[in-house]
Amino acid sequence: MLGQAVAAAATRLGHDVVALSRAELDVTDAAHVRRVVAAAEPRAVVNCAAWTDVDGAETAEAAATAINGEGAGNVARAAAEIGARIVHVSTDYVFDGVREHAAGGSGEPWIESDAVNPIGAYGRSKLAGEEQVAAATDEHAIVRTAWLFGAGGRNFVDTMLALGHERDEVSVVTDQVGSPTWTVHLAEALVELSERSDDVGVLHAAGAGACSWYELAVEVFDRAGVRCRVLPTTSDRFPRPARRPAYSVLGTERDEAPVLPPWQDGVAAYLTEKAVVAR
Protein backbone atom coordinates (compact mmCIF):
# COMPACT_ATOMS: atom_id res chain seq x y z
CA MET A 1 0.00 0.00 0.00
CA LEU A 2 2.62 2.56 1.04
CA GLY A 3 5.25 1.27 -1.38
CA GLN A 4 2.99 1.91 -4.36
CA ALA A 5 2.32 5.46 -3.16
CA VAL A 6 6.05 6.14 -2.66
CA ALA A 7 6.94 4.85 -6.13
CA ALA A 8 4.22 7.00 -7.68
CA ALA A 9 5.23 10.10 -5.72
CA ALA A 10 8.91 9.70 -6.58
CA THR A 11 8.08 9.25 -10.25
CA ARG A 12 5.89 12.39 -10.24
CA LEU A 13 8.79 14.32 -8.75
CA GLY A 14 11.12 13.26 -11.56
CA HIS A 15 13.15 10.53 -9.88
CA ASP A 16 14.25 7.34 -11.58
CA VAL A 17 12.52 4.71 -9.48
CA VAL A 18 13.30 1.05 -8.91
CA ALA A 19 10.27 -0.38 -7.10
CA LEU A 20 10.55 -3.99 -5.97
CA SER A 21 7.79 -6.28 -4.75
CA ARG A 22 8.24 -8.92 -2.07
CA ALA A 23 8.54 -11.56 -4.81
CA GLU A 24 11.41 -9.58 -6.33
CA LEU A 25 13.26 -8.77 -3.12
CA ASP A 26 13.09 -10.71 0.13
CA VAL A 27 14.50 -8.34 2.75
CA THR A 28 15.37 -11.28 5.01
CA ASP A 29 17.95 -12.47 2.44
CA ALA A 30 20.91 -10.23 3.25
CA ALA A 31 23.09 -11.33 0.34
CA HIS A 32 20.29 -10.81 -2.18
CA VAL A 33 19.49 -7.38 -0.73
CA ARG A 34 23.14 -6.33 -1.09
CA ARG A 35 23.27 -7.47 -4.72
CA VAL A 36 20.00 -5.81 -5.72
CA VAL A 37 20.73 -2.51 -3.98
CA ALA A 38 24.26 -2.37 -5.38
CA ALA A 39 22.99 -3.06 -8.91
CA ALA A 40 20.42 -0.25 -8.69
CA GLU A 41 23.06 2.28 -7.53
CA PRO A 42 20.51 4.48 -5.75
CA ARG A 43 21.14 7.78 -4.05
CA ALA A 44 18.47 6.85 -1.50
CA VAL A 45 16.50 3.79 -0.46
CA VAL A 46 12.99 4.10 1.03
CA ASN A 47 12.14 0.89 2.86
CA CYS A 48 8.39 0.23 2.91
CA ALA A 49 8.70 -3.53 3.40
CA ALA A 50 7.10 -4.70 6.63
CA TRP A 51 5.17 -7.39 8.45
CA THR A 52 1.98 -5.43 9.19
CA ASP A 53 -0.27 -8.16 10.63
CA VAL A 54 -0.42 -6.86 14.19
CA ASP A 55 -2.48 -9.74 15.57
CA GLY A 56 -0.55 -12.37 13.63
CA ALA A 57 2.72 -11.14 15.08
CA GLU A 58 1.61 -12.23 18.55
CA THR A 59 2.01 -15.90 17.60
CA ALA A 60 4.76 -15.37 15.01
CA GLU A 61 7.03 -12.80 16.62
CA ALA A 62 10.20 -14.38 15.25
CA ALA A 63 8.86 -14.20 11.70
CA ALA A 64 7.69 -10.61 12.19
CA THR A 65 11.05 -9.62 13.63
CA ALA A 66 12.92 -11.31 10.77
CA ILE A 67 11.23 -8.82 8.43
CA ASN A 68 10.71 -5.75 10.60
CA GLY A 69 13.95 -6.08 12.53
CA GLU A 70 16.70 -8.00 10.72
CA GLY A 71 15.17 -7.28 7.32
CA ALA A 72 15.21 -3.54 8.01
CA GLY A 73 18.83 -3.87 9.07
CA ASN A 74 19.70 -5.75 5.87
CA VAL A 75 18.28 -2.94 3.73
CA ALA A 76 20.02 -0.24 5.77
CA ARG A 77 23.37 -2.03 5.70
CA ALA A 78 23.11 -2.56 1.93
CA ALA A 79 22.40 1.15 1.48
CA ALA A 80 25.31 2.08 3.73
CA GLU A 81 27.72 -0.08 1.75
CA ILE A 82 27.17 2.00 -1.38
CA GLY A 83 26.79 5.36 0.37
CA ALA A 84 23.04 5.68 -0.14
CA ARG A 85 20.69 7.38 2.27
CA ILE A 86 18.11 5.15 3.98
CA VAL A 87 14.59 6.30 4.82
CA HIS A 88 12.90 3.72 7.03
CA VAL A 89 9.23 3.62 8.01
CA SER A 90 8.34 2.82 11.62
CA THR A 91 5.22 3.06 13.75
CA ASP A 92 3.35 4.63 16.64
CA TYR A 93 3.20 1.12 18.13
CA VAL A 94 6.70 1.57 19.60
CA PHE A 95 4.89 3.54 22.33
CA ASP A 96 2.73 1.98 25.04
CA GLY A 97 -0.16 4.39 24.58
CA VAL A 98 -0.26 5.43 28.24
CA ARG A 99 -0.78 9.16 28.07
CA GLU A 100 1.10 10.06 31.23
CA HIS A 101 4.24 8.70 29.59
CA ALA A 102 4.18 11.33 26.85
CA ALA A 103 6.21 14.50 27.38
CA GLY A 104 4.01 17.13 29.01
CA GLY A 105 1.59 14.64 30.51
CA SER A 106 -1.91 13.46 29.69
CA GLY A 107 -3.22 14.10 26.21
CA GLU A 108 0.03 15.37 24.71
CA PRO A 109 1.17 13.79 21.42
CA TRP A 110 4.12 11.45 21.46
CA ILE A 111 7.32 13.15 20.31
CA GLU A 112 10.61 11.71 19.09
CA SER A 113 12.39 11.84 22.46
CA ASP A 114 9.63 10.11 24.43
CA ALA A 115 10.59 6.76 25.90
CA VAL A 116 9.57 3.81 23.75
CA ASN A 117 7.78 0.88 25.37
CA PRO A 118 5.98 -1.38 22.89
CA ILE A 119 3.21 -3.50 24.38
CA GLY A 120 3.01 -6.12 21.63
CA ALA A 121 5.09 -8.26 19.32
CA TYR A 122 4.52 -6.02 16.30
CA GLY A 123 5.76 -2.94 18.15
CA ARG A 124 8.78 -4.83 19.47
CA SER A 125 9.64 -6.04 15.96
CA LYS A 126 9.43 -2.50 14.58
CA LEU A 127 11.56 -1.13 17.41
CA ALA A 128 14.17 -3.76 16.60
CA GLY A 129 14.17 -2.41 13.05
CA GLU A 130 14.71 1.15 14.26
CA GLU A 131 17.69 0.00 16.28
CA GLN A 132 19.24 -1.92 13.40
CA VAL A 133 18.78 0.95 10.93
CA ALA A 134 20.32 3.45 13.33
CA ALA A 135 23.28 1.15 13.94
CA ALA A 136 23.85 0.53 10.22
CA THR A 137 24.52 4.10 9.10
CA ASP A 138 24.47 7.69 10.28
CA GLU A 139 22.74 8.68 7.03
CA HIS A 140 19.29 7.51 8.06
CA ALA A 141 15.83 8.93 8.63
CA ILE A 142 13.51 6.74 10.69
CA VAL A 143 9.97 7.99 10.12
CA ARG A 144 7.30 6.94 12.61
CA THR A 145 3.79 7.17 11.27
CA ALA A 146 0.35 5.86 12.16
CA TRP A 147 -3.03 4.53 11.05
CA LEU A 148 -2.29 4.30 7.32
CA PHE A 149 -5.02 4.17 4.71
CA GLY A 150 -4.80 4.34 0.93
CA ALA A 151 -5.02 2.45 -2.33
CA GLY A 152 -3.46 -0.95 -2.79
CA GLY A 153 -3.94 -2.60 0.58
CA ARG A 154 -6.35 -3.47 3.39
CA ASN A 155 -7.18 -0.47 5.55
CA PHE A 156 -9.82 0.84 7.95
CA VAL A 157 -11.43 3.29 5.52
CA ASP A 158 -12.09 0.60 2.93
CA THR A 159 -13.37 -1.78 5.60
CA MET A 160 -15.83 0.81 6.89
CA LEU A 161 -17.06 1.62 3.38
CA ALA A 162 -17.67 -2.07 2.68
CA LEU A 163 -19.52 -2.55 5.97
CA GLY A 164 -21.47 0.65 5.48
CA HIS A 165 -22.89 -0.62 2.21
CA GLU A 166 -23.80 -3.97 3.77
CA ARG A 167 -25.25 -2.92 7.13
CA ASP A 168 -27.48 -0.29 8.71
CA GLU A 169 -25.12 0.17 11.65
CA VAL A 170 -21.61 -0.67 12.81
CA SER A 171 -19.94 -0.57 16.23
CA VAL A 172 -16.56 1.14 16.42
CA VAL A 173 -14.29 1.75 19.41
CA THR A 174 -13.92 5.15 21.01
CA ASP A 175 -11.06 4.30 23.36
CA GLN A 176 -8.23 4.14 20.82
CA VAL A 177 -7.02 7.54 19.61
CA GLY A 178 -4.44 8.17 16.93
CA SER A 179 -3.43 10.09 13.81
CA PRO A 180 -4.95 8.72 10.57
CA THR A 181 -2.55 9.14 7.65
CA TRP A 182 -3.21 8.98 3.91
CA THR A 183 -0.44 7.08 2.17
CA VAL A 184 -0.08 9.72 -0.56
CA HIS A 185 0.58 12.48 1.97
CA LEU A 186 3.12 10.30 3.76
CA ALA A 187 4.74 9.14 0.51
CA GLU A 188 5.42 12.70 -0.58
CA ALA A 189 7.06 13.37 2.78
CA LEU A 190 9.22 10.24 2.54
CA VAL A 191 10.43 11.20 -0.92
CA GLU A 192 11.23 14.68 0.33
CA LEU A 193 13.22 13.22 3.21
CA SER A 194 15.10 10.97 0.79
CA GLU A 195 16.47 14.15 -0.80
CA ARG A 196 17.56 15.79 2.47
CA SER A 197 20.90 14.40 3.58
CA ASP A 198 21.18 16.61 6.66
CA ASP A 199 17.96 15.51 8.34
CA VAL A 200 18.82 12.33 10.21
CA GLY A 201 17.53 10.34 13.15
CA VAL A 202 13.94 9.72 14.20
CA LEU A 203 11.15 11.94 12.89
CA HIS A 204 7.40 11.71 13.32
CA ALA A 205 5.09 12.22 10.33
CA ALA A 206 1.36 11.51 10.50
CA GLY A 207 -1.90 13.15 9.55
CA ALA A 208 -2.28 16.35 11.55
CA GLY A 209 -4.79 16.20 14.37
CA ALA A 210 -6.24 13.22 16.23
CA CYS A 211 -9.38 11.14 16.43
CA SER A 212 -10.71 7.82 17.64
CA TRP A 213 -11.57 4.98 15.29
CA TYR A 214 -15.22 5.88 15.99
CA GLU A 215 -14.66 9.47 14.85
CA LEU A 216 -12.80 8.28 11.77
CA ALA A 217 -15.70 6.01 10.81
CA VAL A 218 -18.17 8.88 11.24
CA GLU A 219 -16.01 11.12 9.04
CA VAL A 220 -15.72 8.46 6.33
CA PHE A 221 -19.48 7.84 6.17
CA ASP A 222 -20.28 11.54 6.24
CA ARG A 223 -17.91 12.43 3.41
CA ALA A 224 -18.84 9.38 1.36
CA GLY A 225 -22.57 9.95 1.79
CA VAL A 226 -23.08 6.49 3.27
CA ARG A 227 -26.18 6.14 5.44
CA CYS A 228 -24.87 3.89 8.19
CA ARG A 229 -25.18 4.52 11.91
CA VAL A 230 -21.96 4.33 13.92
CA LEU A 231 -22.39 3.02 17.46
CA PRO A 232 -19.72 3.83 20.05
CA THR A 233 -18.15 0.90 21.86
CA THR A 234 -14.94 0.01 23.70
CA SER A 235 -12.02 -2.28 23.03
CA ASP A 236 -13.01 -4.76 25.71
CA ARG A 237 -16.11 -5.59 23.65
CA PHE A 238 -13.88 -6.66 20.75
CA PRO A 239 -10.98 -8.64 22.25
CA ARG A 240 -8.11 -9.23 19.83
CA PRO A 241 -4.84 -11.18 20.16
CA ALA A 242 -2.70 -8.01 20.27
CA ARG A 243 -3.22 -5.09 22.60
CA ARG A 244 -3.36 -1.71 20.87
CA PRO A 245 -1.99 1.53 22.31
CA ALA A 246 -4.92 3.51 23.71
CA TYR A 247 -3.38 6.85 22.78
CA SER A 248 -0.84 6.96 19.98
CA VAL A 249 -1.18 10.46 18.55
CA LEU A 250 2.12 11.51 17.03
CA GLY A 251 3.59 15.00 17.31
CA THR A 252 7.09 16.29 16.77
CA GLU A 253 9.74 18.35 18.51
CA ARG A 254 11.88 18.62 15.36
CA ASP A 255 11.71 21.51 12.91
CA GLU A 256 12.89 19.16 10.16
CA ALA A 257 9.94 16.79 10.53
CA PRO A 258 7.53 16.87 7.58
CA VAL A 259 4.19 18.53 8.32
CA LEU A 260 1.34 16.50 6.82
CA PRO A 261 -2.13 17.90 6.10
CA PRO A 262 -4.98 17.26 8.57
CA TRP A 263 -6.21 13.68 8.61
CA GLN A 264 -9.64 14.87 7.41
CA ASP A 265 -8.02 16.20 4.22
CA GLY A 266 -6.47 12.80 3.67
CA VAL A 267 -9.84 11.08 4.02
CA ALA A 268 -11.45 13.51 1.57
CA ALA A 269 -8.66 13.12 -0.97
CA TYR A 270 -8.69 9.34 -0.74
CA LEU A 271 -12.45 9.17 -1.22
CA THR A 272 -12.14 11.45 -4.25
CA GLU A 273 -9.40 9.22 -5.64
CA LYS A 274 -11.58 6.16 -5.14
CA ALA A 275 -14.52 7.84 -6.87
CA VAL A 276 -12.36 8.73 -9.88
CA VAL A 277 -11.07 5.17 -10.13
CA ALA A 278 -14.63 3.82 -9.87
CA ARG A 279 -15.76 5.96 -12.80
Which of the residues are catalytic? 122
Rounded CA gap, 43 and 68, in Å?
23
Rounded CA gap, 252 and 110, in Å?
7
User: Is residue 240 packed enough to be buried (19+ CB in 10 Å), middle (13-18) or exposed (0-12)?
Assistant: exposed
Rounded CA gap, 77 and 95, in Å?
25
CB atoms within 10 A of CB 159: 14
Rounded CA gap, 90 and 204, in Å?
9
CB 73 within 8 A of CB 135: yes
